[in-house]
Structure 1
């Protein structure tokens, strides 16, 4: 028995030691104070130091790049381009007048570590605009380039670079170098539109169209355009101009020959946040703001929805739907437009302006979920939930499920029992999918007054979790386990650099694409009322989107979203352990700790890559450790 006891103790000691992965997979001495850490969608950690930027791939023993060309960078000088492996680094604001202030721009590929563009290397003294265009994978730069003759060094110029080949495609001047006459301001006012056959540049003199070799094609007197979008044929182009007071938007329509196709431009109140070209017309959402004014005459903080004729720009609706808040969800369907308001409310309008719902649906504030289900449209807010008929707006459940307004609401569908499960304010509600009958399945009390923000079905059991708590219930609501890991301290979480990024949210961010007002030559607006609980659909959409670009870096990002997320079967929690503050990896099915990583810091700064399964930890003010969480 004595020998068995010794063996058991030895095995226990070995298992305990195996759980503690205190030795990092790789460590990186950056040689300068680390000010900020950012985990990219591609899984590379970017550290901003007193010297510049450093890129860390946890699978490599040394940083994949160090960019110190511009020295220390402020947070606002580093832009991570959505849905791409690119970082745009900026120093100095672009001026409309040549020779005032030198501006510097650089474009980095954080996957390969290459500096694709550096304005100093290419003798750009001033940069007006620097835009990455996807999916064409081009960079369009405008400004003053100090090469050539005396006059050429003073004339605004545009250059287009191929990001895959990392070389200049073509460049041209916006004005004739040395032109005699009154000086004209040819500064670029917005994002150029790259089309298959030519490029349109919005300038202070008007829109200029140039061939891909820089030849003049046409120009207009439409000045001050901020961004543009073309229809699928690229024969009709819409330009958006923010008015001088910054409160309204003018929409212009031109042909691919530069002809103005509308007799007058169309003015909408507010700043356009969503614009979609449909067979029936143009759907426009614009957001109005009071600017903080409390005057009764001030503009209300709300969205306006307009539906315009593509041929004339005239409003096709006799009466615009009232929103009484900001549009949070906007979906175009076969029979009309469905929208949800952040302040509460869902409605649906036909393309000819008729209300399809019998009356606007009243909901609680902050519509967290609007999704397709077999029974209809399911919505979940901070205080209520229901399913409604998408044709009529009738409630499928006899009455909405109401609960105390909760900062976090989690939900899932239990297919085995044909029921919806919603966890809010410490209660789990089970709603029969056919009858809509509601039962209180269980009450959960999470420590530190947390509420569940994640919920999923696991082998017939119900898993719920929050930052410090996780529990598993059987299908009758009986607890199988409840694990709580005390937070190190409140101040710790103020220091955490980002915490845990959910795989689903990363996929959603990648698939959402660019909102109106950004580079409209990019991926089209994401307009898909997803099926409820269909997280895999978002990940696949992200993977397919990256795979559609013929570039090795995008292919690597595509493969990343095809992989199984490291958090599929485990949760990572920062807590206070016997040996100090650390991160624990807890199995979702058993509630058992599979790994502990002790962080020798009471207030650690770290980032967790939930997809790749790595922990990036700022060990000292100059050092980062990378731990494998697999």
Structure 2
């Protein structure tokens, strides 16, 4: 064969290969070359797609084909080195060295794409703590400085709107001769209006903002987190012992003095803490698996402590016999639900307000206010109870077999609750409590409805592969089923959920006033606004953009996207929720496509090859 013929053949093969690659998926609206092998994709709460690659971290925000950011300073970033700050537009990248001390740390605003902080650019050798403070929108960093500053132990505060340093100060004397005291930071600092309290191995240290002047210190060593009341007059500090069997709580005044004669002690780890006019509501969890029978049960403890002296105000704490799954502050007392089953209410002076604890099924999926009382829905039953007495409003609770998928909705037009379980849709009259078998809901593909959506034209039930519209009498108007492309395909599908950091005790406490308020049933907008927590009080362009997303109606509210096998290969179909009509097909062709759908933003992200992500505008 002639050389020219061989070259033509090779060029033809290459050309055909390139066509095959280009036609692997339908032409996208946006195409992103990450520049390195893609290892992980994370859809953030703010809507930016953050992609971990072999070279670093990439940010994608549809609107152009350009990357929002490409952070390659630290090379490949492992999943455990990423922290997405809950309800704030920031991702932290941290690489650790000896004794788990961070040698490198960076904070990226994933809404704007700006790198706001990095250890190497700000003169840090090692970082011991790095905490985003909301709603102040500040970053508090502690650790050891570089040799230029004699490896001094310092704390700094940075403005996350600009990335600029507000102020920085020493912990201890860097010029001290001999063995210096250990001023390592042991927990999350507390940022107040005019000063910062830092927990150290020597005790709490209060430093004046801007100047770093020491206002006071005390000997309360190794505090892990703190919380204050709205007026910042009372500070509560928490220390959990090494084996996590108990937590000590201290009250500190504005001059650093301990205000209680003796610390308060609760069993286990504090998971919820609320400062109330009546006292201090505390929930703590004990974990005694594998220990002796004398260690006690693994369960939640609920206590009400006096803000004056820290003493337990209740003669007898309520029994939980399980873990507190719901915890709500009411006008007349505390309402709580147990994961293992059971709901009770106790007054602030320790009296049981319900005539007797309410027995329920396990796993309380919903507890919410209605005009008739408190509705609860578990994996086994549902009912409405009187908020004052705990008596059941429905004569008989709605009971069903323990179901993996239980969903519900409220039909305001006909004043009834609709609950899907056991291949049935039950209708419960809100006024009378009468229960009827409204419709059968046997879905194809061994699925069960995961959503009850009351729409203008009827009642829509959906799952991954099924959609069924019922009229107001429970008769099926239409049904659409798209077979899954095969079990093997689902191994690579990434659920379109938001990745957030695990809540620490301090985060739990900071957001307790939001989390501990019971919502109205079917008040999605109210719940979405609450999700933002302290974000609403923060300032800054990225915060405002993120808040706007929280409050916006989902862009795909009127359509569902289903992965199935199409004529040209595996892909997604866009199905109209009101008519069942197929409005669009997006061919991906991969047998095991990796993708995520951003429901709020209306964007499909698809990993087209090792280095490339396609984005499709689903709103079209």
**585, 588, 591: which one pairs with 2:580?**
591
User: Partner residue of 1:241?
Assistant: 239
CA apart distance, 1:517: 3.3
**330, 333, 341: which one pairs with 2:330?**
333
Where 2:485 maps in the other structure, the secondary structure is: coil
Against the structure 1 CA distance between its residues 277 and 324, is the aligned structure 2 distance closer, same or farther, given a 3 Å change threshold? same
Whole-angstrom distance in 2 between the partners of 1:357 and 1:580: 59
User: Partner residue of 1:11?
Assistant: none
CA apart distance, 1:389: 0.1
User: Partner residue of 1:130?
Assistant: 130
Whole-angstrom distance in 2 between the partners of 1:601 and 1:121: 43
Where 1:517 maps in the other structure, the secondary structure is: helix
**278, 281, 285: which one pairs with 2:279?**
281
Residues 261-280 of structure 1 mapped to structure 2, 5 A cutoff: 261-280=259-278
The answer on 1:489 being equivalent to 2:511 is no
Whole-angstrom distance in 2 between the partners of 1:523 and 1:69: 37
**525, 546, 570: which one pairs with 1:581?**
570
CA apart distance, 1:319: 0.5
Measured against aligned partners, the alpha-carbon deviations of 1:522-560 in whole angstroms (never above 9, x if no partner) come to 785422211111102123445795453220001111222
Whole-angstrom distance in 2 between the partners of 1:339 and 1:523: 14
Whole-angstrom distance in 2 between the partners of 1:83 and 1:71: 27
Whole-angstrom distance in 2 between the partners of 1:525 and 1:156: 36
CA apart distance, 1:514: 5.9
Whole-angstrom distance in 2 between the partners of 1:40 and 1:162: 22
Residues 552-591 of structure 1 mapped to structure 2, 5 A cutoff: 552-591=541-580
User: Partner residue of 1:12?
Assistant: none
CA apart distance, 1:592: 0.9
Against the structure 1 CA distance between its residues 113 and 577, is the aligned structure 2 distance closer, same or farther, given a 3 Å change threshold? same
Residues 513 and 526, structure 1, Cα contact 8 Å, conserved in 2: no
**297, 303, 307: which one pairs with 2:304?**
307
User: Partner residue of 1:46?
Assistant: 50
Where 1:76 maps in the other structure, the secondary structure is: helix
Residues 540 and 561, structure 1, Cα contact 8 Å, conserved in 2: yes
**593, 602, 615: which one pairs with 1:626?**
615
Residues 129-528 of structure 1 mapped to structure 2, 5 A cutoff: 129-146=129-146, 148=148, 152-212=149-209, 213-290=211-288, 292-293=289-290, 295-498=292-495, 500-501=496-497, 516-518=505-507, 524-528=513-517
Whole-angstrom distance in 1 between the partners of 2:67 and 2:25: 22
**572, 586, 600: which one pairs with 1:611?**
600
CA apart distance, 1:585: 1.1
Against the structure 1 CA distance between its residues 282 and 544, is the aligned structure 2 distance closer, same or farther, given a 3 Å change threshold? closer
Residues 369 and 379, structure 1, Cα contact 8 Å, conserved in 2: yes
CA apart distance, 1:387: 0.2
Where 2:507 maps in the other structure, the secondary structure is: coil
Measured against aligned partners, the alpha-carbon deviations of 1:543-584 in whole angstroms (never above 9, x if no partner) come to 795453220001111222333312211111111112111111
Equivalent residue pairs, number: 595
Normalised TM-score (structure 2): 0.93
**70, 73, 80: which one pairs with 1:76?**
80
The answer on 1:36 being equivalent to 2:40 is yes
Whole-angstrom distance in 2 between the partners of 1:245 and 1:469: 48
Measured against aligned partners, the alpha-carbon deviations of 1:354-398 in whole angstroms (never above 9, x if no partner) come to 000000000001000000011000000001000000000000000
Normalised TM-score (structure 1): 0.91
CA apart distance, 1:600: 2.3
Residues 581 and 600, structure 1, Cα contact 8 Å, conserved in 2: yes
The answer on 1:22 being equivalent to 2:18 is no
Where 2:589 maps in the other structure, the secondary structure is: coil
Whole-angstrom distance in 1 between the partners of 2:551 and 2:228: 32
User: Partner residue of 1:5?
Assistant: none
User: Partner residue of 1:62?
Assistant: 66
CA apart distance, 1:194: 0.3
CA apart distance, 1:300: 2.0
- Comparing 59-68 with 377-386, greater Cα deviation is found at 59-68
**75, 83, 89: which one pairs with 1:85?**
89
CA apart distance, 1:299: 3.8
Residues 60 and 67, structure 2, Cα contact 8 Å, conserved in 1: yes
Whole-angstrom distance in 2 between the partners of 1:369 and 1:323: 18
Residues 515 and 525, structure 1, Cα contact 8 Å, conserved in 2: no
Residues 605 and 616, structure 2, Cα contact 8 Å, conserved in 1: yes
CA apart distance, 1:246: 2.3
Against the structure 1 CA distance between its residues 549 and 46, is the aligned structure 2 distance closer, same or farther, given a 3 Å change threshold? same
Residues 513 and 525, structure 1, Cα contact 8 Å, conserved in 2: no
Whole-angstrom distance in 1 between the partners of 2:98 and 2:347: 44
Whole-angstrom distance in 1 between the partners of 2:177 and 2:534: 49
Whole-angstrom distance in 2 between the partners of 1:541 and 1:331: 14
Whole-angstrom distance in 2 between the partners of 1:564 and 1:525: 21
Measured against aligned partners, the alpha-carbon deviations of 1:396-424 in whole angstroms (never above 9, x if no partner) come to 00011000111111111111211111110
Residues 525 and 551, structure 2, Cα contact 8 Å, conserved in 1: no
Residues 274 and 515, structure 1, Cα contact 8 Å, conserved in 2: no
CA apart distance, 1:286: 0.2
Against the structure 1 CA distance between its residues 88 and 199, is the aligned structure 2 distance closer, same or farther, given a 3 Å change threshold? same
CA apart distance, 1:496: 1.2
Where 1:103 maps in the other structure, the secondary structure is: strand
- Could you list the runs of 5+ residues in structure 2 that have no partner in the other structure? 1-23
Residues 95 and 126, structure 1, Cα contact 8 Å, conserved in 2: no
CA apart distance, 1:463: 0.6
Whole-angstrom distance in 1 between the partners of 2:285 and 2:205: 29
